[in-house]
Chains A and B, each alone.
Chain A
Amino acid sequence: MSVGAVPVGGRILTKPFKALAAVAAVGFAVIALRFAVGLGATTAMNDGYAWGLWIAYDVVTGTAFACGGYALALLVYIMNRGRYHPLVRSAILTSAMGYSIAGFSVMLDIGRWWGAWKVPFFVWRWNPNSVLLEVALCIMAYVVVVWIELSPAFFERGRTAALPWVRRLSERALVILDRGLIWIVALGFLLPTMHQSSLGSLMLIAGPRLHPLWQTPFLPLLFLISCLGMGFGAVIVESSMASRFFGRRPHTQMLAGLAAIVVPILLAFAAIRFGDLMARGALPLLFAFDLRSVLALLEFGLVVVAGAMLVTRTARHRAGTQFRAAMLLLAAGALYRFDTYLVAFQPGPQWSYFPSLGEIVVTVGLVAFEVLVYLVLVKQFPILGAQPAPPQRPRPSGIARVERAGVTG
């Protein structure tokens, strides 16, 4: 499955590594404080806004950024476009890190964390009506699945380990994985389909307390479509940055292919969102030009601009345009999710919420930690796909040769 993935190599303790480690350390210090003194003293959450930045960013937005593995699984394994294979492994790594961090963030956010183990095990207590239960179980399962999907990278490295038993174990594991991975890959597609749409359904229960610009029975479909778009966007951003950072040739051709898929996804999202607002008679709210209307318009603006940037073939093949459009697309998806979970939620005029410094420091620290682990793993294990062949010098065509011959002769 590796298609020539090789470890990038190089020193681990670089300057960026140390900087990231410092930021992560501050985050973990605040996390320790949160467990010592509770949520009220460290966060700005309250009985009105019971969910804050940690849910809106780390879980709801972070797992969508981490949908690269999901998006590429759809493309490569289900639609059978094998040529995108070199992008898969690094996308899976991003997914594994994003989902693991999301799971960890949930543990910080829940008040009674010592009972969290009961959720997967108290089967006889499961409430089949609870969307959150479905989300929780699916995300837990997917974290396991996505690390299994990534595990060939570790075992391929293990094959060349110094210890003979590690070599033997790795060989055997690779054989088992090669046979069984299909079942895992299918799960790796099913689980995100379920929980990403359910992340939308979660806010349905807020009923009239969710602003009508966002409250719609199409929430699950919109969340599912947006996570696919964000998944492809994240792959483009991650691949471009990795190429740049490690001085590798960019996969511009392949990313152009992804950009081409992104356009109809963006179009579908904008069309469904707009059509739904129209059908529910909520369009006047969109043009009320208050805070919520401006943010909703900004969502549409980002989607349209990102899509427009990638409309033409030539634009899609420019590395810079790919990167910028993908960043806008991620911003659009992130804003939609923040709006749905924080801005659109209206518990009453007496409540307000803006994340505390502690919440922000923790979130930034966890992102730093995520990047740090990414850097270490791609240096040590075969994860980044083989570089594309160097661009060939344009070979003079027959006519040109004749003309040139004519000129010189």
Chain B
Amino acid sequence: MGISRRTALKGLAVAGSVAVGGRARAAERTLPAAPPDAVGLLYDTTRCIGCKACVVACSEANNLEPDDAYWPGGLYQAPLDLNERTKNVIKLFKGDDETPSSFMKAQCMHCLDPACAAACMLGAFKKREFGIVTWQADLCIGCRYCQIACPYGIPKFEWSKALPKMVKCELCSHRIAQGRIPACAEACPREAVIYGTRVALLAEAKRRLAAYPDRYVPKVYGESEGGGTQCLYLSHVPFEKLGLPTLSDSPTHDPVRTLQHRINKGFFAPVALYGALAVVLFRNRKAGAAERASEEAP
């Protein structure tokens, strides 16, 4: 009995140390590289005039109904935020004494290493052609773990439907397939948002930063945030004022992935624990049978 208990505790200790130890070597992984064909958007707050032409163009291009949730049945004005009928939105940061006002365009960031895809059980959300994160209906069960995972709060759920879908910007991948560009970039009258390969967009962003250093916060948001994104931002106000979270260079889901990999590496730990448990149980049963036998014998 003493032996078996010790074996059991050892098994537990293994499981425990595996569960905890994952943190130590989280930095082992190399950061994600952009897919070679990665495309994206570059949004520049200094150029945006808040006309919302991109919002309308997006709705048309993606067959989205007008968002009348704020005033059902009333006259449509404009969506307040991304939601089940809005994949792209322009918002205003109202400035104060220290910070000037700024417009902000929100849509999916198309992360180089997306948290939604890491979370998704069957891979409904996945980086597909051109590194665009798209949603495949037949693999989604609507668990909404992507909404818990996404650091930007991008995926939206059709709460109003009995048979709902997930909704988010897919960079007009259907238009790109026809040789066109995303509707928002096409509609923008000021080239505040432009479309291109990530390499070209990053180069353009850096060119603007170098050419007009006094105009911008000296940084391209999305170059490395959360492991990097395919949609990039230049801004004249601090990025957190625009609702863009301050993230480290590694994806927000990196700690959990490292831990998960360590535990499930070749499924070794669970199988080992299972084997150890079975051994303990067998010994205990044998010991129990022997005890009973010795009790009955005399």
Please give the residue numbers on chain A whose beta carbons come within 8 Å of chain B beta carbons, in ascending order.
Answer: 35-41, 45-48, 50-51, 74, 77-80, 82, 106, 109-116, 118-119, 122, 125-134, 136, 182-183, 185-187, 189-190, 193-194, 197, 201-209, 217-218, 220-221, 224, 345, 347-348, 350
Residue of A41, A118, A204, A218 with most partner-chain B CB within 10 A: A204
Once A38-B162, A127-B123, A218-B20 are accepted as A-B contacts, the answer to whether A79 and B149 lie under 8 Å apart by CB is no
User: Is A205's CB under 8 angstroms from B281's CB?
Assistant: no
Contacts of A46 in B (CB 8 A): 159
Tell whether, in the assembled complex, residue B259 and residue A50 are in contact, meaning their CB atoms are under 8 Å apart: no
A216 to chain B, nearest CB (A): 9
- Contact between chains at B19 and A111 (CB < 8 Å): no
Asked whether B162 lies within 8 Å of A127 as measured between CB atoms, the reply is no
Expressed in whole angstroms, the minimum distance between the Cβ of A289 and any Cβ of chain B is 26
Return the contact of B22 from the options A110, A194, A217 (Cβ within 8 A). A217
Contact A77 B141 (CB under 8 A): no
Closest to B19 in A: A220
- Please, which residues of chain A bring their CB within 8 A of the CB of B93? none
Q: Report whether A204 and B151 are in contact in the complex, using a CB–CB cutoff of 8 Å.
A: no
Given contacts A111-B157, A128-B264, A218-B20, contact A118 B255 (CB under 8 A): no
Complex contacts, B281 vs chain A, CB 8 Å: 77-78, 182, 185-186
A171 and B233 alpha carbons, distance in the complex (Å) = 71
Chain A nearest CB from B23 CB (Å) reads 4
Q: What residues on B are CB-neighbors of A190 within 8 Å?
A: 270, 273-274, 277
- Closest residue of chain B to A193, judged by CB? B15
On whether the beta carbons of B278 and A122 are closer than 8 Å, the reply is no
The answer to whether B140 touches A112, judged by C-beta atoms less than 8 angstroms apart, is yes
B176 at interface, CB cutoff 8 A:
no
Out of A130, A187, A197, A345, name the residue touching B119 (CB < 8 Å): A130
A39 contacts B122, C-beta separation under 8 Å: no
Q: What are 9 sample pairs from A and B whose C-beta atoms fall under 8 A apart?
A: A50-B157, A74-B8, A78-B284, A111-B144, A118-B122, A206-B148, A208-B246, A217-B259, A221-B16
In the complex, the answer to whether A39 meets B141 with C-beta atoms within 8 Å is no
Contacts of B284 in A (CB 8 A): 77-78, 80
A186→B277 contact, CB < 8 A:
yes
Nearest opposing residue in chain B for A34, CB measure: B162
Residues of A with C-beta under 8 A to B118: 127, 129-130, 205
Number of A-B contacts (CB under 8 A): 200
Which residue of chain B has its CB nearest to the CB of A224?
B19
A79 with B5, Cβ < 8 A, contacts A115-B141, A204-B255, A348-B153 known: yes
Interface pair A126/B122, CB less than 8 Å apart? yes
Indicate whether A78 sits within 8 Å of B280 (C-beta atoms), given known contacts A194-B270, A350-B81: yes
Q: Which 10 A-B pairs have the closest CB atoms?
A: A111-B142, A40-B159, A207-B252, A112-B142, A50-B147, A217-B23, A50-B144, A186-B277, A204-B256, A133-B121
Give the total of B residues in contact with A, Cβ under 8 Å.
70
| Chain A proximity of B244: nearest CB distance (Å) | 12
A208–B148 CB distance below 8 A? no
Complex contacts, A182 vs chain B, CB 8 Å: 278, 281-282, 285
CA distance A125 to B141 in the complex (A): 13
Checking A78, A129, A131 against B8 with a beta-carbon cut-off of 8 angstroms, the contacting residue is: A78
When chains A and B are docked, how far (Å) is the Cα of A202 from the Cα of B16? 17
Residue of A nearest to B282 (CB): A182
A381 nearest CB across to chain B (Å) = 24
Residues of B within 8 A of A133 (CB): 121-122
Residue pair B121, A127 in contact (C-beta under 8 Å): yes
Partner of B141, one of A35, A118, A221: A118
CB nearest to A36 among chain B residues: B162
By a CB distance below 8 angstroms, the chain A residues around B288 are 80, 82
Q: Evaluate contact between A132 and B122: CB separation under 8 angstroms.
A: no
User: What sequence of 0s and 1s flags, for each residue 287-298 of chain B, a beta carbon within 8 Å of any chain A beta carbon?
Assistant: 110000000000
Report if B245 contacts A (CB, 8 A): yes
Query: Chain A residues near B255 (CB, 8 Å)?
Result: 204, 217
The answer on a CB contact under 8 Å between A122 and B122 is yes
Expressed in whole angstroms, the Cα–Cα distance for A133 and B118 within the complex equals 11
